[in-house]
Every structure is written in C-alpha cells, then in structure tokens.
Structure 1
Amino acid sequence: MKFLAKAAAVLLVTVSLFGGSLFDNPYDGEKKSEYKYEGSSGAHYKYDLSDPSDRIEYSTDLDAQMNDKMSVSPNRDLDRQMGQFGGGIDPND
C-alpha cells in the first residue's frame, strides 16, 4: 500500500511538471483528430504512451500497433531519442 502511495505522489509531481503530457496538443479546440499528440519532430500520434490510460488503449488498438510496425518515418526515432514515446503514428507523417 505504501508503494502505491509513493507511486501516486511521483506521478502527481511528474504530471504537474510536464503539464500532464510530454506532447503538445496542436488541435486544442481547433478540430477533432484521432492523432491528438505531436512529438518534437512534428510526427503525430494517436496515443501518448507516457500516459497509463493511453498505454492501455494502445495495447488493444491493433491498427495503431500495425501503423507503428509499418512506419518508416525517421521522426519516430527522433522523438524516441528525446524521450517521447507516442503510439499509433499517423501513416501520413
């Protein structure tokens, strides 16, 4: 139980430091898109894998996983080198 309390405290501090996400949301109120997150490289992703709930959704989204496996975008590697882990990359990026 103490472990969960410590983990929750660390998560709270992390969320407050990073504003809830390591990705910018370029569609903030402008339009709805399934690719809600943008990495520093400019690649768009459906999921922010630093968010536990997005990680769970991604684990059940076979299309998003296939997009990632088929992607040849160098932007994805750039984002990962910067510690940004998006899932379900936009195939048009």
Structure 2
Amino acid sequence: MKQYDNSDIEEIETRLEQTIKRLEKLQKQVRVEPFIDNSDFIRIFKISNGTAKNWRSKGVIPYVQIENKIYYKVSDIRSLLNKNYSTI
C-alpha cells in the first residue's frame, strides 16, 4: 500500500479544487431550464386536455413535443400568467 506524503496530498487537493472549479463553470454554462409535462400543466391550470391543445394551436403557450409527449417551459408559463394578469 502506497504511503502518501504531504506533497502528494497537496497535489491531490490542488487537482480536486481545479476539477471543482471547472465543474462549477460548466454548470453555469449548461443551465437547463425546467420544463413540466402536459399532464402537470393541465392539472395546475385545472383545464381539459382539449383546452391545452387549443391554447397550443392558437399560440397562447409555446411548447415542445417529443413523439407523443408535450412539455412547457416554466418561464413560458410564468410569461403567460404575467401577460394575462389583471388587477380589475
């Protein structure tokens, strides 16, 4: 079994810190925006599947479709709510 001296440990710590900094930088560059699926969208808004489909076809809410699954960006949902917010 290899014995590590202080210089070995310092080198390992330095490489580990460098790796952590690179990972943190990558995480900042690769921010994935949260999405919700159609079933959650329908449940949150308490609407029917037909209403959600109607909103999509009218361009009321942007969406992503991958095969038969539909997803919405959370930021697009917030935008929809803000655009339609009324104090009256």
Q: TM-score range by the shorter chain?
A: under 0.3
Whose radius of gyration is greater, 1 or 2?
Answer: 2
Q: Whose helix proportion is higher, 1 or 2? A: 2
